[in-house]
Amino acid sequence: MADTREKYTSVRRDRGEENLDILSRLIKETPSEYAVRSEEALRWYQEQMRSVRLSAREFMRTAPLDKTRRILTGRFYTYFYQPKYRDILPYYDIFPVTLIIDSDSNSFSGLNFHYLAPRYRVLLLKELYQYIVQDDEEANDMQNKIRITWEILSKTAKLRWAKPCYKKYRLDHVIGPALEITPDQWDVMAMLPLARFRKESIKKVYADSREAAFKTKKVKV
């Protein structure tokens, strides 16, 4: 029994180290000619993720990101989520990676990139990076955020991939704290294979999103 527990602990530690390494390693290994938050960097990360396997729970436990219960617009977060209406939803993601578009005291809306195949995440992020601003003139890159509204997202052709991944989340159904994703890690996190869909396969989700990309539909979860 002791041997089994020790082996399990070792496996958990190895996975934790992998989670810690994947963010820092990929950032360090990014080809120097690729600018941060460029299409070239995004496509490079997309290619690197093809063989990556990660546990969402281990990632939440060990990733070198700050935990928070405060959700701010214009920033990226990942968190565990249990939808209120999960019984009637065709499918849902229990570990979203979301760019927050708007929020109030009870809920927030944002773009959960897990609903898009990686190639379309690249296209969407490339366009969203045109809307980066800083909180104030003295801020550095770590205070960058994306300032954009649903009205712009829904009416701009180049942002059509935002439509199928725009979701509304209730704060009281977020499980535990969220991880805040810093700007230098946006590229990597958007590409990590951390989606955890329930009730349907990820291929089905991707297919539906491709179809919905040319429609305007706001989905509540």
Number of domains in the chain: 1
**Is 16 among the domain residues?**
no
Residue 25 placed within a domain = no
Q: What are the beta bridge partners of residue 102?
A: 109
Residue 43 forms part of a structural domain:
no
**Predicted pLDDT of residue 7:** 37
In a domain, 58, yes or no: no
Q: What is the pLDDT of residue 22?
A: 67
pLDDT value for 63 = 86
Residue ranges of the chain with per-residue pLDDT less than 50: 1-17, 138, 219
Phi, psi (deg, nearest 5) at residue 100: -80, 125
Q: How far apart are CA 122 and CA 113, in angstroms?
A: 10
In a domain, 51, yes or no: no
Token readout for 139 is 């801020």
Residue range(s) defining the domain that contains residue 180: 66-220
Domain membership flag for residue 57:
no
Q: How far apart are CA 131 and CA 39, in angstroms?
A: 15
Q: What is the distance in angstroms between the CA of the first residue and the CA of the last residue of the chain?
A: 42
pTM, two decimal places: 0.84
pLDDT at site 92: 98
CB 185 within 8 A of CB 27: yes
pLDDT of residue 140: 56
159: which DSSP letter?
Answer: G
Residue 7 lies in a domain: no
The CA-atom distances, in angstroms, between 132 and each of 109, 170, 182, 191 are: 18, 26, 13, 19
Residue 23 located in a structural domain:
no
pLDDT confidence of residue 163: 95
